[in-house]
């Protein structure tokens, strides 16, 4: 089975809804790293010159290749990545090999059996 890693850098207010959406679309788990920092084209500053960047979370989903694009598109919609400035970004990375997925393989195989 081939896997992809979806990495989403999101505003911490959207983390829970993105996790729920990804699960509903077929993700079997996630890793969340809190306290990340992100900047866009122009870093936002307050009137005192201090950073105005909000709390960010890095969410990682290791998913079956067949489910990846659908999950990516759905989290982009609920995260409003293309509608609102600074809400987040998500991308996928091909995974060459992975271990430690024995307990999830039967669930993944069942979910994608019609696509194989």
Q: CA 53, CA 85: separation in Å to the nearest integer? A: 12
Q: What are phi and psi of 44, to 5 degrees?
A: -80, 135
Q: What does the alpha-carbon distance between residue 20 and residue 22 come to, in Å, rounded to a whole number?
A: 6
For residue 95, the cross-strand partners are 3
pLDDT tens per residue across span 17-71: 999 999 999 998 999 999 887 666 666 666 566 655 667 899 999 999 999 999 9
Paired tokens of 105: 């393989």
How many whole angstroms separate alpha carbon 112 and alpha carbon 116?
6
User: How far is it, in rounded angstroms, from Cα 68 to Cα 30?
Assistant: 13
- Please report the domains of the chain, with CATH numbers, ordered by start residue: 3-40+51-96 (3.30.70.120)
Whether residue 8 has pLDDT greater than 90:
yes
């Amino acid at each position: 089975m081939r896997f992809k890693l979806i990495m989403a850098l999101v505003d911490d207010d959207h983390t829970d809804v993105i996790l729920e959406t990804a699960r509903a679309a077929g993700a079997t788990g996630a890793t969340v790293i809190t306290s990340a920092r992100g900047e866009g084209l122009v870093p936002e500053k307050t009137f005192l010159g201090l950073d105005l960047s909000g709390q960010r979370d890095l969410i990682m989903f290791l998913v079956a290749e067949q489910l990846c694009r659908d999950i990516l598109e759905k989290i982009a919609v609920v995260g409003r990545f293309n509608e609102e400035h600074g809400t987040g970004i998500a991308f996928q990375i091909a995974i060459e090999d992975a271990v430690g997925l024995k307990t999830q393989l039967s669930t993944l195989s069942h979910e994608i059996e019609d696509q194989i």
